[in-house]
């Protein structure tokens, strides 16, 4: 998943630092970045299409060609599947760049995922799996979520190796193959594959962080992601005796479901705040003018001011930051055009505020629907997610890299409203920071999972430089 | 398949049981020699698994054609018409013309179909394609829908020919090969093959008209002479979508749910035609002074009494008879659990009152749900509005006479409008009135097994149907 920041204008994590000029990519590095990006975008790594192993092999080949030893490159085939998210034979890629000499510390983990969300050509204005460059953008499924991050990390490591960089601690890459669906790769990473990963001290996730510019070109800010909401899916199910459609019954599974969905549409959960979101809103409130800024200031002063929280939540830039959110994402129902439905179901996707038990959300949904015909079930056994503590070294490295490329860019701690591969690592005690360097124009480029997903062309190349600087800073001293 | 409304009436009329004779134990009127002939053909027909895509329909066509040929119909009047039903389903229709030596009127068209619905050996108690006689029943797929009607109409003609009967008008038999799936045979029969099939009116042998309740009380024989137009619409909402962690104020699924709430409560304008009026007159008699009976009488007295019509429509026995009905039957939407839906679609199946054009219903639905919901007809099946067939006194008299003589005097005959669709709709749409009049019967709901498991027909109902059709042909063609 990928979340882009909204319009903001004040640094809260770090004052503007004096940065050296960022390195520049050579023409060869630029061309190699473009070629790799095009290749991976054109590989439809959607669940069920069996393309992830080929992409993993392709990326592995790039590392090999750059001189990384074959014994430290592992394509890890695995099966992913669940009743609701589909099945596939997928793969992860693990690359370990060993420290020159005795490592100074435990490894740094670099996280990303190679799979993408489904994209239907009939929903898009262009072919989602044929990268094109248009109006300063790269278009295609995965351009922002998150093949830009895969290419950013891979090309940065290749460039650094060719330039003779010698890490002082191991840098370990884990690119998974099912983040968008079952998250089994990340679970294996945090358990079965932990020895292969060298028990990292912390991780940097390219599927988080990043920043944005406003449409007028002013900097909107970058985020360092330290917490994320818990992802949980629920299903509303309605059964009915059905019958012949020429004789409609009074009760109908589809209508009962539609009625429940109408209730869900207007429902809002209780507003909540934690340290990360408080810091975020404090920063935002310093300069945000108008009703939105007023609402933030009111809510910070009085966390029980639900009306202020509702105003913030209703803002396009702040959706999901003030509370648990649940939304209907899929519908199924019926079995024939000319038969009354015997079954109708809706998938409800929830993003639960950190610390809240997904079972409590289930109970709340049941109370909301308040209809014995509509059965609410959970689709996973996810547990409440945890926040990672802010590390000064990561904060400093991220700030330096961002501000070298974008002088004056404010940086915020962030609670992600999405779910990512970070969760099982956080649960296993390995802090994870969403620290990608890509950027976009907000909110018009917020298209992850949607139609006509796109990435500003320059963002792709900036991100390679970003990761070079991050690695030099965190693994070069 | 043609439903029998009488089955629906069962629950209403089964009160006040009177000691009655089990109709299955009454001796058949078909002579033993003809029983043997009809049974032999029926057995062969049932044991040909003429399910779509199995390529078996032509064998049924040959079996029936052989009977006509043996009875003296010349090859020139027997037409095998191969065609494709569902994509890849090579099927066949059979058209036979029994000529009158001196025709005085336009022909009568007899309709049937030779295909059957799929039946799985693992689901059935016995092999569905092995003909069995057991406990007063013939069992097997197609015994009630409708190889019984194919054989009864064919053997009735054969029997009459053997007796030297000469019709005073041509009688044309059209047995189609894909009624249960696409209905292309009926489409072709009513258009492209019209030179072979043109007739004054049609008699459909698909589905017995009569039934008894479990206390053997007769529930009547409904002559279906009108049917609603089948038209499916797709209601679709579109949205830019996005990541589900950041819900937008607008959402394709919620927009569709709003539209479905409107469809749920919407009721079309009540309507009557000659057929439904005659039907309700009969129902008012049956209902007597019950609440429903009073409502029916109120509506018959004043067709503008919408409240009475609404009360009738709300009764489970009468659903769909008072107006056009549309109901949501299928749902799909979204493309991933963690993405906001970019589109959501509901299938809305409509049964349109005879004479109303489907585009009018589409416009009414569009107005109901508003401009943000796309409403489109299913491009795979564009319904043809079918006018109600006129109440022909000759047909009603012939059926009434035959039912009373063959089944029993206590079996009432009344007209009805079918809420489902059958091969007859294609001919009605093309200007040939069609009457569903097959004379077979069953015990409701025990024998209501068309399309279902362990399909069966009472032995007597099958044999007597041959007698019934001979009486129909004699009445209407002499």
What is the spatial distance between Cα B409 and Cα A389, in angstroms, rounded to a whole number? Answer: 90
Q: Which residue ranges make up each domain of chain A?
A: 27-229+386-475, 230-269+324-378, 272-309
What is the spatial distance between Cα B147 and Cα B127, in angstroms, rounded to a whole number? Answer: 17
Cβ pair B331, A254 in contact under 8 A: yes
Q: State the Cα angle at A411 between A410 and A412, rounded to 5°.
A: 125
Here the CATH number for the domain that contains residue B37 is 3.40.630.10
Q: Is A78 left (phi over 0), alpha (psi -120 to 50) or beta?
A: beta
User: What token pair was written down for B281?
Assistant: 């007159």
Would you call B334 and A330 a contact, using CB atoms and an 8 Å cutoff? yes
Would you call A259 and B261 a contact, using CB atoms and an 8 Å cutoff? yes
Task: Give Cβ neighbours of residue A67 (< 8 Å, ≥ 6 apart).
Answer: A161, A162
The whole-number pLDDT of residue B109 equals: 98
Would you call B320 and A246 a contact, using CB atoms and an 8 Å cutoff? yes
Q: Do B104 and B243 fall within a single domain?
A: no
Fold held by A230-269+324-378: Alpha-Beta Plaits (3.30.70)
Q: Is the pLDDT of residue A34 over 90?
A: yes
What is the spatial distance between Cα A225 and Cα A354, in angstroms, rounded to a whole number? Answer: 13
User: What token pair was written down for A52?
Assistant: 């992830």
User: What token pair was written down for A20?
Assistant: 């050296």
Taking the Cβ of residue B382 and every Cβ of chain A, the question of whether any pair is shorter than 8 Å is answered with: no
Cβ pair A276, A414 in contact under 8 A: yes
The whole-number pLDDT of residue A228 equals: 83
> Could you give the C-alpha distances from A379 to A85, A180, A235, A359, B433, in angstroms and in order?
10, 15, 7, 11, 55
**Chain B residues closer than 8 Å to A245 by CB:** 327, 329, 349, 351
Output DSSP code: residue B23: G
Would you call B329 and A336 a contact, using CB atoms and an 8 Å cutoff? yes
Global confidence as pTM? 0.72
Which residues in B331-370 are b (16+ Cβ under 10 Å) and which e? bbbbbbbbbbbbbbbbbbbbbbbbebebeebbebbbebbe
Half-sphere exposure of A197 (CA within 13 A, CB side): 29
The whole-number pLDDT of residue B19 equals: 55
| Residue finishing a domain among B370, B386, B402 | B386
Q: Is A290 left (phi over 0), alpha (psi -120 to 50) or beta?
A: left
User: What token pair was written down for B255?
Assistant: 């927009």
User: What token pair was written down for B167?
Assistant: 């019709």
Closest partner CB to A254 (pick from B3, B230, B346): B346
The whole-number pLDDT of residue A20 equals: 64
Strand partners, A174: A94, A111
Task: Give Cβ neighbours of residue A406 (< 8 Å, ≥ 6 apart).
Answer: A211, A219, A222, A439
The whole-number pLDDT of residue B56 equals: 98
Task: Give Cβ neighbours of residue A163 (< 8 Å, ≥ 6 apart).
Answer: none
A:B CB pairs within 8 Å: 206
Would you call A337 and B349 a contact, using CB atoms and an 8 Å cutoff? yes
Cβ pair A45, A55 in contact under 8 A: yes
**Number of domains composing chain B:** 3
What is the spatial distance between Cα B89 and Cα A17, in angstroms, rounded to a whole number? Answer: 75
User: What token pair was written down for A392?
Assistant: 């000064």
Cis status of the peptide bond prior to B72, with omega within 30 of 0: no
Closest partner CB to A319 (pick from B246, B258, B328): B246
From the list B377, B331, B343, the residue with the least C-alpha distance to A335 is B331
Strand partners, A340: A243
Q: Do B116 and B170 fall within a single domain?
A: yes
Q: Do B183 and B252 fall within a single domain?
A: no
Task: Give Cβ neighbours of residue B33 (< 8 Å, ≥ 6 apart).
Answer: none
The whole-number pLDDT of residue B45 equals: 98
Domain extent for B264: 229-268+324-386
Task: Give Cβ neighbours of residue B10 (< 8 Å, ≥ 6 apart).
Answer: B211, B213, B219, B444, B445
Torsion over CA: A438, A444, A447, A453 (sign):
negative
Q: Do B127 and B23 fall within a single domain?
A: yes
From the list A141, A110, A146, A109, the residue with the least C-alpha distance to A125 is A141
Of all residues in chain B, what percent are helix, strand and coil, respectively (each to 5)?
35, 20, 40
Taking the Cβ of residue B271 and every Cβ of chain A, the question of whether any pair is shorter than 8 Å is answered with: no
Taking the Cβ of residue B254 and every Cβ of chain A, the question of whether any pair is shorter than 8 Å is answered with: yes
Phi, psi of A271 (to 5 degrees): -65, 145
Question: pLDDT per residue over A347-381, tens digit each?
Answer: 999 999 988 999 999 999 999 999 999 999 999 88
**Chain A residues closer than 8 Å to B11 by CB:** none
Residue numbers of B between 75 and 104 with CB closer than 8 Å to A: none
Compute mean pLDDT per 10 residues along chain B, 478 residues long, and list them: 39 47 96 98 98 96 98 98 95 98 97 92 90 97 96 98 98 96 93 97 94 89 91 96 92 97 96 94 90 97 96 91 96 93 97 94 98 95 85 94 96 88 86 95 85 90 98 97
Closest partner CB to A330 (pick from B228, B333, B419): B333
Length of chain A: 477
CA distance A201 to chain B (A): 29
Nearest chain B residue to A229 by CA: give it: B245
What is the spatial distance between Cα B217 and Cα B464, in angstroms, rounded to a whole number? Answer: 19
Pick among A243, A253, A313, A338 to test the B interface (most B CBs inside 10 A):
A338
Residue whose token pair is 């043996």 = B70
What is the spatial distance between Cα A209 and Cα A413, in angstroms, rounded to a whole number? Answer: 9
Question: pLDDT per residue over A240-294, tens digit each?
Answer: 988 778 889 899 999 999 999 999 999 999 999 987 899 889 988 987 889 999 9
From the list B67, B88, B91, B86, the residue with the least C-alpha distance to B78 is B67
Q: Do B63 and B192 fall within a single domain?
A: yes
What is the spatial distance between Cα A168 and Cα A107, in angstroms, rounded to a whole number? Answer: 9
Q: Do B282 and B256 fall within a single domain?
A: no
Q: Do B369 and B415 fall within a single domain?
A: no
Radius of gyration, alpha carbons of chain B: 24
What is the spatial distance between Cα A465 and Cα A21, in angstroms, rounded to a whole number? Answer: 11
Q: Give the other-Cβ count within 10 Å of B287's Cβ.
A: 20
Would you call A450 and B243 a contact, using CB atoms and an 8 Å cutoff? yes
What is the spatial distance between Cα B141 and Cα A372, in angstroms, rounded to a whole number? Answer: 39
Question: pLDDT per residue over A461-475, tens digit each?
Answer: 999 999 999 999 999
Q: Is the pLDDT of residue A1 over 60?
A: no
Closest partner CB to B253 (pick from A117, A261, A314): A261
Query: Domain A27-229+386-475 maps to which CATH number in 3.40.50.720, 3.40.630.10, 3.90.226.10, 3.30.450.20?
Result: 3.40.630.10
Helix (H) or strand (E) holding B94: strand B90-98
What is the spatial distance between Cα A135 and Cα A130, in angstroms, rounded to a whole number? Answer: 16
What is the SS3 assignment for B468? Answer: helix
From the list A257, A463, A432, A449, the residue with the least C-alpha distance to A351 is A449
Q: Do B337 and B255 fall within a single domain?
A: yes
Would you call B243 and A1 a contact, using CB atoms and an 8 Å cutoff? yes
C-alpha of B460 from chain center: 22
Q: Is the pLDDT of residue A94 over 70?
A: yes
What is the SS3 assignment for B194? Answer: helix
Q: What percent of chain A has pLDDT over 70?
A: 96
Give burial (CB, 10 Å; 0-12/13-18/19+) of B16: exposed
The whole-number pLDDT of residue B300 equals: 97
Helix/strand/coil (H/E/C) assignment for every residue in chain A: CCCCCCCCCCCCCCCCCCCCCCCCCCHHHHHHHHHHHHHHHCCCCCCCCCCHHHHHHHHHHHHHHCCCCHHHEEEEEEEEEECCCEEEEEEEEEEEECCCCCCCCCCEEEEEECCCCCCCHHHCCCCCCCCEEECCEEECCCCCCCHHHHHHHHHHHHHHHHCCCCCCCCEEEEEECCCCCCCHHHHHHCCCCCCCCCCCCEEEEEEEEEEEECCCCCEEEEEEEEEECEEEEEEEEEECCCEECCCCCCCCHHHHHHHHHHHHHHCCCCCCCCHHHHHHHHHHHHHCCHHHHHHHHHHHHCCCCHHHHHHHHHCCCCCCCCCCEEEEEEEEECCCCCEECCEEEEEEEEEECCCCCHHHHHHHHHHHHCCCCEEEEECCCCCCCCCCCCCHHHHHHHHHHHHHHCCCCCEEEEEECCCCCHHHHHHCCCCEEEEEEEEEECCCCCCCCCCCCEEEHHHHHHHHHHHHHHHHHHHCC
What is the spatial distance between Cα B338 and Cα A85, in angstroms, rounded to a whole number? Answer: 10
Identical fold at A27-229+386-475 and A230-269+324-378?
no
Would you call B256 and A347 a contact, using CB atoms and an 8 Å cutoff? no
Pick among B4, B11, B118, B245 to test the A interface (most A CBs inside 10 A):
B245
Pick among B207, B233, B246 to test the A interface (most A CBs inside 10 A):
B246
What is the spatial distance between Cα A421 and Cα A432, in angstroms, rounded to a whole number? Answer: 9
Helix/strand/coil (H/E/C) assignment for every residue in B273-307: CHHHHHHHHHHHHHHCCCHHHHHHHHHHHCCCCHH
Q: What average pLDDT does the segment A2-10 reach?
A: 40
Here the CATH number for the domain that contains residue B351 is 3.30.70.360
Cβ pair B135, B62 in contact under 8 A: no
The whole-number pLDDT of residue A467 equals: 98
Nearest chain B residue to A248 by CA: give it: B327
Q: Do B11 and B63 fall within a single domain?
A: yes
Task: Give Cβ neighbours of residue A299 (< 8 Å, ≥ 6 apart).
Answer: A271, A273, A281, A305, A308, A309, A312, A322
CA distance A158 to chain B (A): 32
């Amino acid at each position: 998943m990928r979340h882009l920041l909204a319009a903001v204008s004040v640094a809260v994590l770090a004052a503007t630092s004096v940065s050296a000029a960022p390195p520049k990519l050579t023409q060869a590095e630029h061309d190699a970045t473009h070629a790799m990006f095009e290749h991976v975008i054109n590989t439809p790594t959607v669940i069920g299409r069996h393309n992830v192993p080929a992409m993993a092999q392709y990326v592995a080949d790039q590392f090999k060609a750059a001189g990384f030893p074959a014994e430290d490159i592992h394509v890890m085939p695995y099966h992913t599947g669940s009743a609701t998210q589909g099945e596939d034979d997928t793969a992860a890629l693990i690359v370990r760049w060993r420290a020159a000499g005795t490592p100074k510390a435990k490894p740094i983990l670099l996280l990303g995922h190679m799979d993408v969300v489904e994209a239907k050509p009939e929903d898009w204005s262009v072919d989602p799996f044929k990268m094109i460059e248009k109006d300063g953008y790269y278009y295609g499924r995965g351009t922002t979520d998150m093949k830009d991050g895969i290419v950013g990390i891979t090309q940065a490591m290749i460039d650094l190796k060719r330039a003779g960089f010698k890490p002082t601690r191991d840098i370990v890459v884990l690119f998974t193959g099912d983040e968008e669906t079952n998250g089994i790769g990340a679970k294996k990473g945090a358990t079965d594959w932990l020895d292969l990963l060298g028990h990292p001290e912390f991780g940097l996730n390219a599927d988080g962080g990043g920043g944005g510019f406003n449409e007028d070109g002013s900097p909107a800010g970058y985020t360092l992601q330290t917490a994320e909401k818990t992802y949980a899916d629920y299903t509303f199910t309605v059964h009915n005796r059905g019958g012949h459609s020429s004789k409609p019954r009074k009760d109908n599974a589809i209508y009962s479901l539609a009625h429940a969905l109408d209730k869900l549409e207007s429902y809002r959960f209780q507003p909540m705040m934690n340290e990360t979101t408080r810091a975020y809103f404090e920063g935002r409130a310093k300069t945000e003018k108008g009703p939105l800024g007023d609402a933030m200031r009111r809510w910070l002063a009085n966390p029980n001011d639900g009306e202020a929280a509702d105003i913030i939540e209703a803002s396009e830039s702040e959706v999901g930051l003030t509370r648990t959110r649940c939304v209907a994402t899929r519908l199924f129902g019926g079995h024939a055009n000319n038969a009354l439905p015997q079954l109708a179901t809706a998938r409800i996707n929830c993003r639960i505020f950190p610390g809240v038990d997904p079972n409590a959300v289930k109970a709340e949904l049941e109370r909301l629907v308040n209809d014995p015909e509509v059965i609410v079930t959970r689709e996973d056994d996810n547990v409440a997610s945890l926040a990672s503590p802010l590390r000064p070294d990561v904060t400093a490295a991220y700030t330096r890299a961002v501000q070298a490329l974008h002088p004056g860019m404010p940086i915020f701690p962030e609670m992600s409203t999405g779910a990512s591969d970070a969760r099982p690592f956080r649960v296993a005690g390995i802090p994870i920071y969403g620290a990608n360097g890509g950027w976009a124009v907000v909110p018009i480029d917020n298209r992850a999972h949607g139609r006509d997903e796109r990435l500003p062309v320059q963002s792709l190349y900036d991100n390679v430089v970003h990761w070079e600087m991050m690695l030099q800073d965190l693994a070069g001293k | 398949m043609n439903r029998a409304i009488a089955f629906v009436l069962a629950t209403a009329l089964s009160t006040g049981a009177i000691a009655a004779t089990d109709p299955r134990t009454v001796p058949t009127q078909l002579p033993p020699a003809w029983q043997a002939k009809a049974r032999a053909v029926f057995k062969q027909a049932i044991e040909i698994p003429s399910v779509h895509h199995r390529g078996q329909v032509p064998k049924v066509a040959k079996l029936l054609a052989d009977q006509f040929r043996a009875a003296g119909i010349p090859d020139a009047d027997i037409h095998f018409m191969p065609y494709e039903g569902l994509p890849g389903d090579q099927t066949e229709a059979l058209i036979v013309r029994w000529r009158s030596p001196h025709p005085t009127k336009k022909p009568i068209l007899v309709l049937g179909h030779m295909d059957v619905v799929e039946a799985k050996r693992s689901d059935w108690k016995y092999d569905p394609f092995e003909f069995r006689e057991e406990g007063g029943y013939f069992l097997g797929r197609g015994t009630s829908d409708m190889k019984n009607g194919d054989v009864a109409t064919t053997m009735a003609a054969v029997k009459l020919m053997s007796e030297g009967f000469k019709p005073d008008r041509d009688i044309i038999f059209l047995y189609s090969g894909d009624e249960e799936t696409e209905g292309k045979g009926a489409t072709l029969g009513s258009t492209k093959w019209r030179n072979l099939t043109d007739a004054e009116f049609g008699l459909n042998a698909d589905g017995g008209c009569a039934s008894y309740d479990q206390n053997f009380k007769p529930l009547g024989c409904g002559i279906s002479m009108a049917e609603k137009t089948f038209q499916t619409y797709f209601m679709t909402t579109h949205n830019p979508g996005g990541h589900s962690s950041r819900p937008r104020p607008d959402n394709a699924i919620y927009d569709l749910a709003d539209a479905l709430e409107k469809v749920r409560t919407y009721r079309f304008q009540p309507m009557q035609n000659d057929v439904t009026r005659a039907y309700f007159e009969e129902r008012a008699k049956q209902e007597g002074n019950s609440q429903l009976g009073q409502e029916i009488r109120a509506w018959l007295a004043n067709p503008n009494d919408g409240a009475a019509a609404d009360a009738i429509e709300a009764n489970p026995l009468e659903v769909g008879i008072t107006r056009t009905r549309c109901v949501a039957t299928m749902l799909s939407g979204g493309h991933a659990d963690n993405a906001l839906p970019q589109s959501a679609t509901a299938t809305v199946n409509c049964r349109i009152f005879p004479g109303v054009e489907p585009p009018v219903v589409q416009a009414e639905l569009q107005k109901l749900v508003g401009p943000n919901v796309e409403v489109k007809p299913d491009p795979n099946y564009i319904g043809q509005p079918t006018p109600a067939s006129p109440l022909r006194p000759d047909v009603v008299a012939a059926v009434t006479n035959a039912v009373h003589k063959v089944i029993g005097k206590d079996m009432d005959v009344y007209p009805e409008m079918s809420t489902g669709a059958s091969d007859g709709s294609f001919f009605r749409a093309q200007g040939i009135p069609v009457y569903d009049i097959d004379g077979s019967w069953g015990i409701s709901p025990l024998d209501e097994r068309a399309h279902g498991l362990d399909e069966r027909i009472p032995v007597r109902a099958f044999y007597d149907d041959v007698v019934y059709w001979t009486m129909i042909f004699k009445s209407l063609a002499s």
